Structure 1
């Protein structure tokens, strides 16, 4: 079984503004990375993300970043408790692809696909957690971009 998922949302802002809200660490820290983001998302970079609900910084490798079109990120797999997997066969990466599509009405369609989880119970549980996280990211991005509201503020503290 190939564990993967896809989530999407329409953001009522132009694609250039939406893309910038994701790649700019100051903006990303304002609505998603509750513990902060360090480094701009650019091809070849390793950026650091931190969350109040997932303590400690962790590295995110930027595989591809095509302005206003696509971002591809890799990071180390974790188990459902948010701990790096340390069992046999661990040490693998998860790949997330985020695509940005301008719509005729001026909105932007953002689609997130993630894959790479091992086909076991830990992989299944962890993929569910990440699906939840990316869905929350899109909801938070929408609220931030359209209304200036940080949905995650105080959510985990």
Structure 2
């Protein structure tokens, strides 16, 4: 069986440069994805992200950034599994950007299928939140996952 990859995509009505900056800049990211970051996503940087609903830091290793085109990083996308995430940006007509996220890969077994479901859902949410933020200045994530907070 082929390994599993989580994928999601969406078109955003903003230029690639603006979308790219919203993905790498922690000030922007805190308006739709994370609560805070130890820095800007730049090739070779090791960062720590904090999500609003979890009391822990998530280590992120930035593998590569290409302005207006690509953000690639590695993180523990599943318990004890370092996974690569590639966010590809493609210019579209009308000053729009197609954003494609690919994460993986995991074995095609019960653990992998559970991961695939959760992370595909997560990346679709990430993209919806990014679109709402960039096009309408709305933070869809704010309060959305408070039920997941650990006490």
Matched, 1:152 2:146: no
Higher mean displacement: 40-49 or 53-62: 53-62
> Secondary structure at the residue paired with 2:14?
coil
> Secondary structure at the residue paired with 1:114?
strand
Give the 5 Å matches for 1:1-157. Answer: 1-33=2-34, 35-78=35-78, 84-85=79-80, 92-157=81-146
Question: In the alignment, is the contact (CA less than 8 A) between 1:49 and 1:58 conserved in 2?
Answer: yes
Scaled by the length of structure 1, the TM-score of the pair is 0.86
Q: Which runs of 5+ in 1 are unaligned?
A: 79-83, 86-91
Question: In the alignment, is the contact (CA less than 8 A) between 1:93 and 1:116 conserved in 2?
Answer: no
Question: Across the two proteins, how many residue pairs are aligned to each other?
Answer: 145
Summarize deviations over 1:113-146 as a string: whole Å, max 9, x none.
1112233322221222111111000000000000
Q: Distance in 2 between matches of 1:156 and 1:118?
A: 28
Q: Distance in 1 between matches of 2:26 and 2:52?
A: 16
Summarize deviations over 1:15-55 as a string: whole Å, max 9, x none.
1111000000111011111x322211110001211223443
Q: Which runs of 5+ in 2 are unaligned?
A: 147-151
Question: In the alignment, is the contact (CA less than 8 A) between 1:30 and 1:150 conserved in 2?
Answer: yes
> Secondary structure at the residue paired with 1:10?
strand
Summarize deviations over 1:38-89 as a string: whole Å, max 9, x none.
21111000121122344311111111101111111111242xxxxx33xxxx
Q: Distance in 2 between matches of 1:112 and 1:106?
A: 20
Q: Alignment RMSD, CA only?
A: 1.4
Scaled by the length of structure 2, the TM-score of the pair is 0.89
